[in-house]
Amino acid sequence: MIHGVVDKGMDYPDKIQLLAKMGYNDLVESFQLRYRNRHDGSEEEEDEEHFFAQLSFSVFRVGQWALELYQHQDKLLQSPQHLAAYHNIMQRLLATASNLLNTEKPKISRYQVEFLSFWLQAIKKQDILSDFDNECLLNLTRVVVERLTYPQWFTFKVDLSDYEEEFVKYRDELVINIFGNMALIKAYVPTLLQALAELLQRIAPGTTTAAQAEVILYLLYHLQSSIPSELREKATGDNPYCQLIQYLLKLDFLQFRHKAVNLQYLEVSVRYSGYLLKTEGFFHHIIGMLFSDHGLRSSDSNLASRSCYLLLRLCERFHSALGPESPELSLIDPIVANTVAVIRDFDQRKLGTLREEDINNLYNVLGLFVSSKNLGQQQKTQYLKEVYSQLSSKLSHFAGHFDKVLWTLKHLNIFSKGLVAAGDDEIYNQVLQQVLQAMNSAIGVAEICDQAMLYLQKCVSILGANVLPYVT
């Protein structure tokens, strides 16, 4: 194809002149016209898809070459005619790339993901963008939103089809390489934030589809990784990112009653909790959602499992912001009570969507508060007794079932890892004896012995010589 010109051993000006004489722009426009006329939502035949994939590769290859001189065009193309021809080619390439990106066919669009990501990186540090660059970025933003939106045929089942898995993979590539790089262009950030704010403002349950609501949350989730470090935790009114996230509090995403929206809303809320924790009612709202059937009590295993992890991340951030006199300390009681209740329901097989790995995260939450320096000893002792009683009961009930005993020991060590003082030695007595009994009855089962020894070491560090009556 004509893109072979750029591989020839000629200087940049000569290649620019040759491409112009061969009418490269006109050829690309004619192919693009055929693409627009054919790409009307119907399925392409195999030969059509192959043709457009070849066109996409041609645009990618010429675009890759054109970007080689992008930063040094004034130096390498000193003739006004060559510069004008180069700008013309570059603009046509970018416009065509954006159009080719707007398809459900990764075979056609993947080349443009790479080309456009290179271009976005090339303009990332520019203080001022040209009118064309701004126009191209706005169009690209529109295309990205459209391409990232889940299509109607997507089922959201736990076991995805091969085509659905391919879409999810491509979706991640697109948001990281295109949206992620757009969000790093300083001169475009204000425009991008305004575009996202307008999308949020247009959300209206009943008229906005679940897929349209989810994609905005998905973009906000990935936007966080592009926020400058000095603004990432700055929860003030002069932070444009914080202003954008405040729109979340004005919307009731639960009205969509869709697991993909629920999960993305929880992901975003936890990721931006540094901006939102000080907002009245936010923490109580998110904790309530996490413990409901919209979160870790969901019938969807992915949503339930992920909610356990998000609860831990949120509690870690919440805990680090607490002080000895914080009024929010009163919120710990319901968190602990709900967490213990979820674990109990799991043990009684009432929550089949959770796994032992998820329960590990919940014991991590409990251990976080039991080892807190901001809680009084009486409150910590109360939590310790409650959780240890539960674990003791499980060790007794599962005696002889090595897989269950192993998980219980793992939960015990996760819960106990932050403990530094006993408060009441007797609290440890029964559990420690049961742990040692489990180890004796599982001699030869290395994992159980390792977990038992890990807990014994924790008891020695807490009880000191007082542990001797328990091990002799």
* SS3 per residue for 124-167: CCCCCCCHHHHHHHHHHHHHHHHHHCCCCCCCCCCCCCHHHHHH
Q: Are residues 220 and 85 in the same domain?
A: no
Q: Are residues 105 and 150 in the same domain?
A: no
Q: Confirm if 360 and 411 have CB atoms less than 8 A apart.
A: yes
Q: Are residues 233 and 262 in the same domain?
A: yes
Q: Are residues 6 and 107 in the same domain?
A: yes
Query: Mind listing the pLDDT tens digit for each residue in 153-165?
Result: 999 988 899 999 9
Q: Confirm if 430 and 393 have CB atoms less than 8 A apart.
A: no
Phi, psi of 205 (to 5 degrees): -50, 130
Unique residue bearing structure tokens 């247009």: 202
With respect to residue 393, please indicate whether it lies within any of the assigned structural domains.
no
> In this predicted structure, what is the pLDDT of residue 116?
96
Q: Are residues 15 and 106 in the same domain?
A: yes
With respect to residue 361, please indicate whether it lies within any of the assigned structural domains.
yes
Q: Confirm if 364 and 371 have CB atoms less than 8 A apart.
A: no
> In this predicted structure, what is the pLDDT of residue 135?
94
Q: What is the DSSP letter of 452?
A: H
Element (H, E) at 337: helix 332-347
Domain-terminating residue out of 256, 276, 296: 276
CA distance 269 to 277: 10
Q: Are residues 40 and 103 in the same domain?
A: yes
With respect to residue 385, please indicate whether it lies within any of the assigned structural domains.
no
Domain-terminating residue out of 122, 138, 173: 122
Q: Are residues 363 and 440 in the same domain?
A: no
Give the total number of structural domains in the chain.
4
Task: Please give the residue range of the domain that contains residue 409.
Answer: 400-472
Got the DSSP string for 391-437?
HHHHHHHTTT-HHHHHHHHHHHHHHHTT----S-THHHHHHHHHHHH
CA distance 75 to 372: 62
Q: Are residues 415 and 454 in the same domain?
A: yes
Q: Are residues 232 and 154 in the same domain?
A: yes
> In this predicted structure, what is the pLDDT of residue 125?
86
> In this predicted structure, what is the pLDDT of residue 429?
74
Q: What is the DSSP letter of 329?
A: G
CA distance 137 to 143: 10
> In this predicted structure, what is the pLDDT of residue 228?
93
Of the candidates 86, 63, 62, 88, which has an alpha carbon nearest to the alpha carbon of residue 74?
Answer: 86
Unique residue bearing structure tokens 């300390």: 329
Q: Are residues 187 and 208 in the same domain?
A: yes
CA distance 269 to 263: 10
> In this predicted structure, what is the pLDDT of residue 40?
47
Q: Are residues 174 and 268 in the same domain?
A: yes
With respect to residue 182, please indicate whether it lies within any of the assigned structural domains.
yes
With respect to residue 146, please indicate whether it lies within any of the assigned structural domains.
yes
With respect to residue 131, please indicate whether it lies within any of the assigned structural domains.
yes
> In this predicted structure, what is the pLDDT of residue 434?
87
CA distance 149 to 421: 51
Helices 282-290 and 301-320 pack at an angle, to 10 degrees, of 150
Burial call 320-331: b when 16+ CB within 10 Å, e when fewer = eebeeeeebbeb
Burial call 446-468: b when 16+ CB within 10 Å, e when fewer = eebbebbebbbebbeebbeeebe
Domain-terminating residue out of 87, 103, 122: 122
Q: Cα–Cα distances in Å, from 63 out to 17, 84, 133, 287, 312?
A: 16, 16, 15, 49, 46
With respect to residue 410, please indicate whether it lies within any of the assigned structural domains.
yes
Below-70 pLDDT ranges, the chain? 1-47, 71-78, 421-425, 468-472
Q: Are residues 48 and 20 in the same domain?
A: yes
With respect to residue 22, please indicate whether it lies within any of the assigned structural domains.
yes
Instruction: State the pTM of this model.
Output: 0.88
